[in-house]
Structure 1
Amino acid sequence: MTSPTPAQRIEHDFLGDKPIPAQAYWGVHTARAVENFPITGQTIGQVPELIRALACVKKAAARTNAAMGVIDAERARAIDAACNELLAGQWHDQFVVDVIQGGAGTSTNMNANEVIANRALELLGAEKGDYARLHPNDHVNASQSTNDVYPTALRLAAWVGIGGLLEAMAALRGAFEAKADEFRDILKIGRTQLQDAVPMTLGQEFSTYAVMIGEDEQRLAEARALIEEVNLGATAIGTGINAPAGYAEQVVRELAAISGVPVSVAPNLVEATQDTGAFVQLSGVLKRVACKLSKTCNDLRLLSSGPQAGFGDIHLPPRQAGSSIMPGKVNPVIPEVMNQVAFEVIGNDMTITMASEAGQLQLNAFEPIMGWSLFKSVKHLTQACRTLQHHCVEGISANRPLLARRVAESVTLVTALNPIIGYEKAALIAKTALAQGGTIAATAATLGLMSEAEMAALLVPERLTQPVRLLG
Structure 2
Amino acid sequence: MPVPQDAYYGIYTARAKENFAAGGRPANPKLMHAIARVKQAAAKVNGRNHALPQKKVQAILAACEEILDGSLDAHLIVDAYQGGAGTSSNMNVNEVIANRAIELLGGSKGDYSIVHPIDDVNLHQSTNDVYPTALRIAVIPLLRQLAEELASLQEAFQAKEHEYADLLRLGRTQLMDALPILAGQSFGAYAKAAARDRWRLYKAEERLREINIGGTAVGTGMNAPLTYIYAIADELRELTGLGLCRSDFPMDGTQNMDVFVEVSGLLKAAAVNLLKISNDFRLLSSGPAGGIGEYILPAVQAGSSIMPGKVNPVIAEMLGSVAMRVIAGDTAVTLAAASGQLELNAFTPVLAEALLESLELLLHGIPLFRERCLSGLKLDEHRCREHVERSGVLAAATITYLGYDNAAALAKAAAASGRPLEQLLLEGGWMTLEQIQEVLHPLEVTKPGIPGRSGQSGAEHGRRLIPE
TM more than 0.5: yes
Correspondence 1:38 to 2:57: no
Comparing 286-295 with 169-178, greater Cα deviation is found at 169-178
- 1:156-175 counterparts in 2 under 5 A? 156-175=137-156
1:112-143 CA-partner distances (Å, limit 9, x unpaired): 00111111112222221121121100010001
| 432, 436, 443: which one aligns with 1:451 | 432
Deviations 1:128-169 (A, max 9, x none): 112112110001000100001011111111112222322322
Which letter does structure 2 place at the counterpart of 1:432?
Answer: A
Letter in 1 for 2:328: G
Say whether 1:211 aligns with 2:189.
no
Q: How many residues align?
A: 453
> TM-score normalized by structure 2?
0.94
- Per the alignment, residue 228 of structure 1 pairs with 209
CA contact (8 A) 2:390 2:415 kept: no
Within the candidate set 446, 450, 453, 1:471 is matched to 453
1:426 positional shift: 1.8
For residue 330 of structure 1, what is the amino acid of its counterpart?
A: V
Q: Which runs of 5+ in 1 are unaligned?
A: 1-17
Report SS of the residue matched to 2:2: strand
Q: Distance in 2 between matches of 1:202 and 1:439?
A: 20
- Tell me which amino acid in the other structure corresponds to 1:179: K
**CA-CA distance at 1:225 after TM superposition:** 2.2
Q: Return the offset for 1:222.
A: 2.0
Q: Output the CA distance in 1 between the equivalents of 2:189 and 2:287.
A: 23
- Give the corresponding residue for 1:91: 72
Counterparts of 1:106 and 1:253, CA distance in 2: 24
When the two chains are superposed, the root-mean-square deviation of aligned CA atoms in Å is 1.5
1:76 counterpart residue number: 57
Contact 2:156 2:370 (C-alpha < 8 Å) held by counterparts: yes
TM-score normalised over the length of structure 1: 0.93
CA contact (8 A) 2:392 2:421 kept: yes
Q: Describe the SS at the equivalent of 1:122.
A: helix
Cα separation, partners in 2 of 1:434 and 1:21, compared to 1, 3 Å: closer
1:307 corresponds, among 259, 280, 288, to 288
Q: Which amino acid aligns with 1:43?
A: P
Contact kept in structure 1, 2:9 and 2:92, CA below 8 Å: yes
Instruction: Measure how far apart 1:396 and its partner are.
Output: 0.6
Give the CA deviation at 1:436. 4.0
Which of 428-437 and 252-261 deviates more?
A: 428-437
Query: How many Å separate the matches in 1 of 2:377 and 2:165?
Result: 14
Q: Is residue 149 from structure 1 mapped to residue 134 from structure 2 by the alignment?
A: no
What secondary structure, in the 3-state scheme, does the structure 1 residue paired with 2:3 have? strand
Aligned letter for 2:309?
A: G
- Partners of 1:201 and 1:265 lie apart in 2 by 52
Q: 1:319 aligns with which of 287, 300, 315?
A: 300
Q: Note if contact 1:416-1:459 (Cα within 8 Å) is conserved in structure 2.
A: yes
The aligned residue for residue 3 of structure 2 is 20
Q: One-letter code of the match for 2:174?
A: Q
* Contact 1:58/1:141, CA 8 A, preserved across alignment: yes
Of 351-360 and 156-165, deviating more is 156-165
Q: Measure the CA separation in 2 of the matches of 1:302 and 1:436.
A: 26
What's the offset of the Cα at 1:107?
A: 0.4
| Paired residues of 2:32 and 2:89 also in contact (CA < 8 A) | no
- Distance, in Å, in 2 between the alignment partners of 1:436 and 1:302 is 26
Match of 2:458 in 1: none
Q: Is the 8 A contact 1:355 1:370 kept in 2?
A: yes
Residues 328-347 of structure 1 aligned to structure 2 (within 5 Å) = 328-347=309-328
Structure 2 unaligned regions, length at least 5: 455-468
The question of whether the paired residues in 2 share the 8 Å contact of 1:169 and 1:382 is answered with no
Stretches (4+) displaced over 4 A:
none
Q: How far apart, in 2, do the equivalents of 1:21 and 1:222 lie?
A: 46
1:117 is matched with which residue?
Answer: 98
Deviates more, 1:112-121 or 1:164-173: 164-173
2:112 counterpart SS class? coil
Task: State the partner residue of 2:351.
Answer: 370
**Is the 8 Å Cα contact of residues 295 and 380 (structure 2) preserved in structure 1?**
yes
SS in 1 for 2:375: helix
Deviations 1:17-59 (A, max 9, x none): x332222111111111011111111113xx3312321121001
Aligned residue for 2:263? 282
CA shift for structure 1 position 468: 4.1
Identity value in percent: 44
Task: Give the letter for the 1:129 counterpart.
Answer: G
